Amino acid sequence: MGRYKPLIGISIGDPAGIGPEITAKAVSLPDIYEICRPLVVAEVDMMKNAVKFSGLDLKIHTITSPTEGIFQLGVLDLMDMKNIDAKSIRHKTISAVCGRASFEYVKKVIEWAMLKEIDATVTGPISKEAINLAGFHYSGHTEIYADLTKTKDYAMMLMHEHFRVIHVSTHVSLRQACDRVKKGRVHRVILLGYDVLKRLGIENPRIAVAGLNPHSGESGMFGSEEVEEIEPAIKMARDEGINVEGPIPPDTIFSKMQGGQYDLVVVMYHDQGHIPIKLIGFQYDDKTKTWGSMSGVNITCGLPIIRVSVDHGTAFGKAGEGRANPESMIQAIKIAAKLVLNK
């Protein structure tokens, strides 16, 4: 018998963005079918259109449950949600119609995963504005997953190859982010990151924790969070046998990880982690006005199901043109499959 191939549900994201295109491009590759069985949640006509303008040779096979998939190279197995007319989709445009559809795609793959009908979920890029216009008041995918899975203790991990960050807080104001730097939360995020690293096959993860303030507070001169909250959290994790150090000044910690000193950095807020990961994974060429690389994935840690996502937005500016880079979607599917097999 061959190695088990995980069944992975893919929600394509906002229909007016690049989600349908990068999904179609990803599932057209033989590499994907060597490691998993991909199942796409979208609409038939929408995906037929994406296949056409992307110049792909893919047949669409519709299903009503994950058990009906063919899972063969050259066939895109699709759960047709029938909740939006492809003719009504206007690429590059934010709309409540597309926001509602993208929410329904996410909801479906979560339902399947919670019922154990699929092994993992992968998400394409949504528009937060469109989701909210449709009446679903979430600040992002992570919060949707947390709500629908009834998870209170979770964290966002971003990774590009061996460069990884996990966040103490994400989609809140900077003022709120500072208030959320508490010993219990920092300690829990260290543990969540450690668990995922082990499942990625890292035997003895080396974790670093970033400070919140300049120079990590300089022993309280520039802020007390490091002394009162972060250092005690690190000590708790060390006492549990985790190889963790810090707090390390944010202006040097990422260079050290890039140089191979750490496997993961625990960051205190959204931009502290997003900026370095996207600086490394996203490469823009001003001469050609294109992104030569759109690499990196997003893992939601602490959920009862596996969720991996692309680490970029809807890219409305190039949607519907067939030139979107599927690199992040390909990586997300591969990481999801790996997490299933190491669960």
Mention every residue, 6+ apart, whose C-beta is less than 8 A from residue 110: 121, 144, 145, 148, 149, 305
CA distance 273 to 264: 11
Q: What tens digit of pLDDT does each residue of 26-36 get?
A: 999 999 999 99
**155-277 falls under which CATH superfamily?**
Isopropylmalate Dehydrogenase (3.40.718.10)
Q: What tens digit of pLDDT does each residue of 178-201 get?
A: 999 999 999 999 999 999 999 999
Length of the chain: 343
- pLDDT number for residue 218: 85
Q: How many CB atoms lie within 10 A of CB 159?
A: 25
DSSP label at residue 229: I
* 7-151+303-341 and 155-277 share one fold: yes
Mean pLDDT over 53-61 rounds to 94
- Residue 11 pLDDT greater than 90, yes or no: yes
- pLDDT number for residue 64: 94
Mean pLDDT over 161-187 rounds to 95
Q: Express as a percent the part of the chain with pLDDT over 90.
A: 80
Residue 109's identity, in one-letter code, is V
Q: What tens digit of pLDDT does each residue of 232-250 get?
A: 999 999 999 999 999 999 9
CA distance 280 to 274: 10
Strands 207-210 vs 264-267: parallel, antiparallel or unpaired: parallel
Q: What tens digit of pLDDT does each residue of 101-156 get?
A: 999 999 999 999 999 999 999 999 999 999 999 999 998 899 999 999 999 999 99
Indicate the pLDDT class of residue 343, thresholds 50, 70 and 90.
confident
Question: φ and ψ at 163, to 5 degrees?
Answer: -100, 115
158, 264 Cβ separation under 8 angstroms:
no
Domain boundaries, given as residue ranges, for the chain: 7-151+303-341, 155-277
- pLDDT number for residue 220: 84
Q: What tens digit of pLDDT does each residue of 271-297 get?
A: 999 999 988 877 766 776 665 555 689
- pLDDT number for residue 59: 96
The alpha-carbon radius of gyration of the chain (Å, integer) is 20
Strands 37-42 vs 75-80: parallel, antiparallel or unpaired: parallel
- CATH number assigned to the domain covering 7-151+303-341: 3.40.718.10
- pLDDT number for residue 293: 56
